[in-house]
């Protein structure tokens, strides 16, 4: 039981750390691009991410005592999350990457080979198909990237 708990806590802390670093870098760069000085560019991401952490801990503590948490905690969590998401979107490269698996590309294989025409006989094509997923080839055929700027 303790091993599961330690693994869960380690996983959550690792994911939270990665998310915090990425979020901080994006908000820091956004602040610098919009003319904030170095101190403000450091403090603003810390305030936003700090609000998310404090609100999350407040909700977690309330949950342990059987409550859902106060409205202020939930509002701060939503505002902080939206601010972080907005910074990530604002700093992202202006491109759109869309992928969609094209199941019709190399996905159907004929059960029987096509017979070539012979004397007094037309070419014979058997229209029975086996469905075979094209895997990476079908997926790569669907990858599209366009500049949106």
Query: Nearest-5° angle of CA 42, CA 45, CA 49?
Result: 140
Question: How far is Cα 113 from Cα 124, in angstroms, rounded to an integer?
Answer: 9
Read off the pLDDT of residues 52-80 as tens digits, 9 standing for 90 and up.
Answer: 999 999 999 999 999 988 999 999 999 99
Beta bridge partners of 131: 108
> Which tens digits make up the pLDDT trace of 12-57?
899 988 988 988 999 999 999 999 999 999 999 999 999 999 999 9
The pLDDT value given to residue 101: 52
**Residue 130: predicted pLDDT:** 56
Q: Which two tokens stand for residue 84?
A: 């972080």
Tokens linked to 113:
């080979």
What Rg do the C-alpha atoms of the chain give, in angstroms?
Answer: 27
Percent of the chain scoring above 70 in pLDDT: 71
CB-based burial of residue 147 (10 Å sphere; 0-12 exposed, 13-18 middle, 19+ buried)? exposed
Question: How far apart are alpha carbons 94 and 117 in whole angstroms?
Answer: 54
Q: How does residue 128 score in pLDDT terms, banded at 50, 70 and 90? A: low
The number of residues in the chain equals 149
């Amino acid at each position: 039981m303790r091993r599961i708990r330690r693994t869960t806590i380690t996983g959550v802390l690792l994911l939270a750390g990665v998310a915090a670093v990425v979020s901080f870098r994006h908000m820091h760069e956004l602040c610098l691009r919009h003319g904030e000085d170095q101190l403000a560019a450091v403090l603003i991401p810390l305030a936003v991410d700090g609000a998310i952490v404090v609100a999350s801990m407040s909700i977690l503590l309330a949950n342990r005592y059987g409550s859902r948490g106060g409205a202020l905690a939930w509002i701060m969590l939503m505002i902080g999350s939206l601010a972080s998401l907005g910074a990530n979107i604002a700093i992202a490269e202006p491109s759109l990457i869309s992928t969609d698996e094209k199941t019709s590309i190399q996905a159907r294989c004929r059960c029987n080979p096509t017979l070539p025409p012979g004397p007094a006989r037309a070419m014979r094509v058997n229209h029975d198909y086996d469905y075979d997923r094209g895997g990476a080839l079908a997926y790569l055929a669907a990858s599209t990237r366009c500049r949106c700027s």
